């Protein structure tokens, strides 16, 4: 076959374009769009490394773990821990973006892929393990009950039949139902909302983890915790429960274990945890 030069050039161009398209398709199908030797794209750790930062779901309503300060910045034990983990996993304590979650939205935020992991006072429970994968424990709290310091309540049982505030989606609800079945339980979306309702007198008590309640004790006057504890609440970070999360779970959990072994998590506890009432009282 003999073609004219212009036609022959066009033909070469078409063949070259077709070959390039075929090669690109083959690379996508067989190589997952990745250069040879790199991990598959459905590896969440690799996705985080490519993005350059972790996206962590944290609380904005639970001092001293995560709270929005008056300067507009989110601060707390879990915020500091998130930065230490980013430093270990990505080599930069600022390679992290914090996204607000609360007790009732944190698993949905994970499922919707709004966050890579949840670091939000979340108790490791068998029921939750059906939905998420947990890291090792980084803090152990216990469910407690807060009342007004001048009230006559001494034991949790004294609150049966009374209005008691709790946070929706928290482990505390089930234990309250078991321990004080006649109590009128009032559920709130945010920890700060539950505390404000209790502090304003809409509930006789507020029950959640002692570690969170102490955050309010150390800021507001006239409130105290009853001595009874209803449960142990080991906190773990939560990850999506699928295979693509496994390398991220392994990397973050190993970073956490190093921080625990080096005493850095204990240092955060010493920095943030207070159990005494404040010198000056905050307004609710
Ligand atoms: N740690 C408990 C839970 O995971 C209660 C505190 C919270 O609201 O996160 O349900």
Q: Is 171 in the pocket of ligand 1 (CB under 6 A)?
A: yes
> Which of the following CATH numbers is that of domain 44-141+234-272: 1.10.3720.10, 3.40.190.10, 1.10.10.10, 2.60.120.1570?
3.40.190.10
Q: Rounded to the nearest whole angstrom, what is the distance from the C-alpha of residue 171 to the centroid of ligand 1?
A: 6
> pLDDT tens across 129-165, in order?
999 999 999 999 999 999 999 999 999 999 999 999 9
Helix (H, G, I), strand (E, B) or coil at 185: strand
- Residue 75 tokens, joined: 């601060």
Q: What is the pTM of this model?
A: 0.84
Q: Is 238 in the pocket of ligand 1 (CB under 6 A)?
A: no
Q: Output the pLDDT for position 37.
A: 54
Rounded average pLDDT over 4-20: 50
Q: Is 211 in the pocket of ligand 1 (CB under 6 A)?
A: no
Q: Is 143 in the pocket of ligand 1 (CB under 6 A)?
A: no
Distance (Å, rounded) from C-alpha 205 to C-alpha 225? 9
Distance (Å, rounded) from C-alpha 205 to C-alpha 224? 10
Q: Which residue has the tokens 């009853």?
A: 226
Distance (Å, rounded) from C-alpha 159 to C-alpha 175? 13
Q: Is 253 in the pocket of ligand 1 (CB under 6 A)?
A: no
Q: Rounded to the nearest whole angstrom, what is the distance from the C-alpha of residue 234 to the centroid of ligand 1?
A: 10
Q: Output the pLDDT for position 284.
A: 57
Cβ–Cβ < 8 Å for 144, 209: yes
Query: 203 exposed, middle or buried (CB, 10 Å; 0-12, 13-18, 19+)?
Result: buried
Q: Rounded to the nearest whole angstrom, what is the distance from the C-alpha of residue 122 to the centroid of ligand 1?
A: 5
Q: Output the pLDDT for position 20.
A: 47
Beta bridge partners of 96: 54
CA count, 13 A, side-chain hemisphere, 28 = 5
Q: Is 61 in the pocket of ligand 1 (CB under 6 A)?
A: no
CATH number for the region 143-225 comes to: 3.40.190.10
Rounded average pLDDT over 220-245: 96
> pLDDT tens across 159-194, in order?
999 999 999 999 999 999 999 999 999 999 999 999
Beta bridge partners of 58: 100
Cα angle 56, 57, 58; round to 5: 110
Q: Rounded to the nearest whole angstrom, what is the distance from the C-alpha of residue 99 to the centroid of ligand 1?
A: 17
Distance (Å, rounded) from C-alpha 15 to C-alpha 19? 6
Domain boundaries, the chain: 44-141+234-272, 143-225
Question: Can 44-141+234-272 and 143-225 be said to share one CATH topology?
Answer: yes
Kindly give the pairing relationship between strand 66-68 and strand 132-148: unpaired
Q: Rounded to the nearest whole angstrom, what is the distance from the C-alpha of residue 163 to the centroid of ligand 1?
A: 20
Q: Give one DSSP letter per residue of 17-69, joined into a string.
A: HHHHHHHHHHHHHHHTTSPTTSPPTT-HHHHHHHHTSEEEEE-SEETTTEEE-
Residues 6 or more apart in contact with residue 249 via CB below 8 angstroms: 133, 135, 239
Q: Output the pLDDT for position 268.
A: 98
Beta bridge partners of 39: none
Q: Rounded to the nearest whole angstrom, what is the distance from the C-alpha of residue 193 to the centroid of ligand 1?
A: 15
Q: Is 101 in the pocket of ligand 1 (CB under 6 A)?
A: no
Q: Output the pLDDT for position 10.
A: 55
- For 86, the enclosing helix (H) or strand (E) is helix 77-90
CA count, 13 A, side-chain hemisphere, 163 = 13
Phi, psi of 206 (to 5 degrees): -135, 125
Q: Which of 62, 103, 138 gets mutated to test ligand 1 (max ligand atoms within 8 A of its CB)?
A: 103
Q: For ligand 1, atom 10, name the residue with the nearest CA.
A: 170
């Amino acid at each position: 076959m003999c073609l004219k030069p212009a036609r022959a050039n066009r033909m070469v161009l078409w063949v070259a374009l077709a070959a390039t398209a075929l090669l690109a398709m083959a690379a996508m199908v067989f190589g997952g769009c990745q250069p040879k030797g790199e991990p598959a794209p459905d590896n969440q750790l690799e996705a985080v490394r490519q993005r350059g930062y972790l996206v962590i779901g944290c609380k904005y309503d639970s001092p001293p773990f995560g709270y929005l300060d008056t300067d507009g910045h989110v601060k707390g034990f879990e915020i500091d821990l998130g930065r230490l983990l980013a430093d270990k996993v990505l080599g930069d304590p600022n390679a992290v973006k914090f996204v607000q979650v609360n007790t009732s939205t944190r698993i949905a935020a994970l499922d919707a892929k709004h966050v890579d992991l949840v670091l939000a006072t979340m108790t490791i429970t068998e029921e939750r393990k059906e939905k998420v994968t947990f890291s090792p424990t980084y803090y152990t709290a216990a469910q407690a009950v807060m009342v007004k310091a001048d009230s006559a309540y001494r034991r949790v049982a004294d609150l049966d039949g009374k209005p008691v505030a709790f946070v929706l989606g928290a482990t505390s609800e089930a234990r309250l139902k078991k321990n004080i079945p006649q109590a009128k339980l009032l559920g709130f979306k945010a920890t700060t909302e539950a505390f404000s309702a209790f502090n304003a007198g809409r509930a006789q008590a507020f029950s959640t983890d002692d570690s969170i309640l102490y955050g309010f004790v150390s800021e507001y006057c006239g409130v105290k915790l009853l001595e009874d504890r209803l449960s142990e609440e080991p906190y773990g970070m939560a990850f999506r429960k699928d295979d693509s999360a496994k390398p991220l779970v392994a990397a973050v959990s190993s970073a956490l274990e190093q921080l625990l072994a080096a005493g850095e998590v204990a240092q955060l506890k010493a920095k943030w945890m207070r159990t005494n009432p404040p010198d000056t009282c905050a307004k609710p």
